[in-house]
Chains A and B, each alone.
Chain A
Amino acid sequence: MKFTLHIWRQENARAKGHFETYPLEGISPDCSFLEMLDILNEQLINDHIAHPVCFDNDCREGICGMCGLYINGRPHGNDDGITTCQLHMRKFHDGDDIWIEPWRAKPFPVIRDLVVDRSAFDKIIQAGGYISTTTGGVPDANTIPIPKHKADMAMDAASCIGCGACVAACKNASAMLFVGAKVSHLALLPQGQIEAADRVHKMVCKMDELGFGSCTNTYACEAECPKLIKRQNISRLNRQWIGALFGRDRK
């Protein structure tokens, strides 16, 4: 297969950045998107054309959340429930023009080319996305009975890999699905409920402080989440927030 790639090139965080066009031929339909970029980078290096294109990646099996490219108008490309590394070239037509952009959001500044700084997500987690108990051993799984449907919902929310596709897809660059998932997976389980009100307050305050937009219920986040996390988690976040207005009461 052959493609014409239009890739965002940006020297560093302060540079202006522009699109560069690279024709690419002889790509197998079974090649993954990131492998295709590897082939391009080999050519760029071997033929002394340009510096290789920088892009984030790690596990290349859809579980680490490192990769994330905005491909032809969709985060993680033209497929549902996948990360960029799980996207294959057979999803494109031979001769296609492919536009590759970095995530765009004020709290996700571009570091270089297609790499963005997503430490804003870490700061939200650091603000309260944890259970602060530091003592005691690990209890046996069956000592606290939890209904199956609750455990399932908590597990679904916990499957968030923090890739940032929700922010990239949202027209407001809102992190509500991410925060909703992180709040939900703890709030749905007994261990997380004790600090739930404080947690939601701290995480939402941090989210606002970092400059993420607010949710306007467009649900592009849900459509693009590689882990298929549902909008009900945003609803739960809103519910928790209302509860926190009273639940954060202290003597």
Chain B
Amino acid sequence: MNLPKIHSISKKILVGALGAFLSFFLLFHASANLLILRHDGGEWYNAFCHFMGTYLIVKVMEIGLIAALLLHVVLAIWLAVTNKMARPKGYHKPQRSKTHTGSKLQVWTGILIFACLIMHFTDFYFVKIGLVKGKYLAKTEDVVALKTTQPDAFNYAEQHGEYSAKENWLTNFDKEDKAVLEAAGLEVEPDFYHQAREKFKVLHIIIAYLVFFTVVWFHLRHGFAAVFQTFGLYNYKYGKAIEVLGQIYTWVVCLMFAVVVIGVYFGL
């Protein structure tokens, strides 16, 4: 099979551009996650998730994001394979040159990130698209009115989940409750706030997520400055500043993710 001809530098530029897009998404994702730390029964975070799940432009961008991720992975693996072919016979002595460890690990941290994403998608994204069970919230015009119009549904909701008459939400339901509430005519959607709070109470899950963030840290730390280099923006004047900015960006993103996970575990 003849693969399409893309020159090595163009391939690198594509991988870098897609990586930059994914890095921006990480900052956005990490910032939004901080809403989980609000003790509001998920009002803000779920409202944000509702917006993300229903707004047309965001839904189009979601497809773009998944496509970008897959293309980033495919191109990076393609590059790695062609790079491997450039040295059919390796050296006997392992290389001892002073180099950036991050870049040597980049393909492997990338593969690890992809593996961790399967865990992350199982915990959250697959709940949204209905492949996996999770927590749900029910939407109603008026919780107080529900008490009189559909007392059975209200009592069920009160026993199986949480509600707030003042804030007008019914939340923290399991998959089994979803069918009952939908039968009562309520609109049900994933409750990522309680989903996250439930998941991050389990020690082995938060350890897995912290490992995930560490791998992301390694990948981003190399990736950030590498994107500038690949785009030809790394020069004598701004080289140092780009590296410092990369360090700050990497630490900020990864710490924001970690703070939420650890915060929920310790009851923040």
Contacts and interface: CB of A to CB of B under 8 A. Distances in A.
Contacts of B232: 235-242
Interface residues of A, number: 49
Contacts of A220: 95, 97-99
A55 interface: no
B97 A239 contact: no
A118 B147 CA distance: 84
Interface in B61-100: 79, 82-100
Contacts of B9: 204, 214, 237-238, 241
Given A231-B229, A232-B234, A239-B232, A214 B12 contact: yes
Contacts of A73: 91, 93-97
Contacts of B13: 238, 241-242
B85 A211 contact: yes
A113 interface: no
Contacts of B170: none
Nearest to B87: A173
A216 B85 contact: no
Interface stretch (A57-65, A97-105, A137-145): A97-105
A172 interface: yes
Of the candidates A78, A99, A172, A230, the one having the most CB atoms from chain B within 10 angstroms of its own CB is A172
B93 A101 contact: yes
Given A73-B94, A105-B86, A171-B104, A217 B8 contact: no
B92 A215 contact: no
A212 B96 CA distance: 21
Interface in A130-167: 153
22 contacts: A70-B93, A73-B95, A78-B96, A171-B83, A171-B104, A172-B83, A172-B86, A205-B7, A213-B82, A213-B86, A214-B83, A215-B12, A216-B83, A217-B225, A220-B97, A220-B98, A220-B99, A231-B234, A235-B229, A236-B235, A238-B231, A242-B231
Interface of B: 7-13, 79, 82-100, 103-104, 106, 222, 225-226, 228-236, 239
Interface of A: 6, 8, 19, 70, 72-75, 78, 99, 101, 104-107, 153, 169, 171-174, 204-205, 207-208, 211-220, 223-224, 230-232, 234-242
